[in-house]
Amino acid sequence: MNTLLDTVHWESKEHPGMSRGQLASLAPQARAVFAARGSLKFPEDFNFQVMTRRQRVLFANMSRTTVLCPDLPGQGGMLWWNTGDEAILALLHRKCVSVAQEVGFSEFCVMCAAHGPSAEPYWREMLGEDFRCLKRWQ
């Protein structure tokens, strides 16, 4: 498998409301409040890329999916996978493209970097059964 690369066009006006991952990461008491308030709208309308690579360094699996925007150098997010299987990585790539289409560049990147208590429920909701392939952070 070589690198898988897809371009995503995202417009905030097409995605009103909080993402299902954001709602899943909230405390139960806060869910109703935020769901009733609606969304905070961010002006976001641009193209960005989702890239998945299978990579090994010696015996270590370094497979990952990266989200980057050519117009914003140095900005992006990365998810690390605990599998090097090409078929599973292709499935994970398609899943990440669909998540990116749903939530946009900013939310995807912020949650890639998140290590707090909200990160696990967020990714569990967004990735579904494929959450098992996500490397846990320390």
**Domain locations in the chain?**
4-133
Window from 20-34, 45-59, 65-79 with minimum mean pLDDT: 20-34
- β-strand partners of 37: none
| Nearest-angstrom CA–CA distance, 119 and 97 | 19
- Find all residues with CB under 8 Å of 110, minimum gap 6, and list them: 77
- β-strand partners of 47: 9
Give the model confidence (pLDDT) of 50-76 as tens digits. Answer: 999 998 888 888 899 999 988 888 888
Give the model confidence (pLDDT) of 87-129 as tens digits. Answer: 999 999 999 999 999 888 888 888 888 888 888 899 999 999 9
pTM for the whole structure: 0.79
Window from 3-17, 30-44, 78-92, 117-131 with minimum mean pLDDT: 30-44
The tokens for 35 are 């769901």
Eight-state DSSP code of residue 12: G
